[in-house]
Amino acid sequence: MSVVFEAKIKSNGDGPHDWFIELTDTVINKIEICNDLEEFSKQIENLGSTYGGRIDEVKWSQDKNVSDEQYSEINAGMRKYQEEFDKKSEA
């Protein structure tokens, strides 16, 4: 069984912080709404624990109305979380 999650960035306003991520566990078709990257990190860890922490892929997409500024904020934040995750994995 391949464990694939989908993460879709959606806008709920015009400001740089007016976004959320719709996280979908495609195995059981469960959707979680994440209002910030900390919540996203916790939700993906929580959903992944169902599969022993093994997630094969996270497919990212975004709605057409997500601004460049919103995308940049999320992208920068995800790079930070990835760096922290990599450091923990190396230890």
**Domain residue spans of the chain:** 4-90
For 59, which DSSP code? E
Q: How far apart are CA 83 and CA 1, in angstroms?
A: 28
Query: What pLDDT, on the 0 to 100 scale, is given for residue 27?
Result: 94
What number is the average pLDDT over the span 9-15?
86
pLDDT 10s digits, 15-64:
778 999 999 999 999 999 999 999 999 999 999 999 998 899 999 999 99
Q: What is the dihedral sign for C-alpha 81, 63, 6, 25?
A: positive
Query: What pLDDT, on the 0 to 100 scale, is given for residue 81?
Result: 80
Maximum Cα–Cα distance across the chain: 40
Alpha helix stretches (DSSP H) within the chain: 37-49, 68-90
pLDDT value at 6 more than 90 = yes
Q: Would you place residue 1 in the very low, low, confident or very high pLDDT band (cuts 50, 70, 90)?
A: confident
Answer with the residue of higher pLDDT: 81 or 31: 31
pLDDT value at 86 more than 90 = no
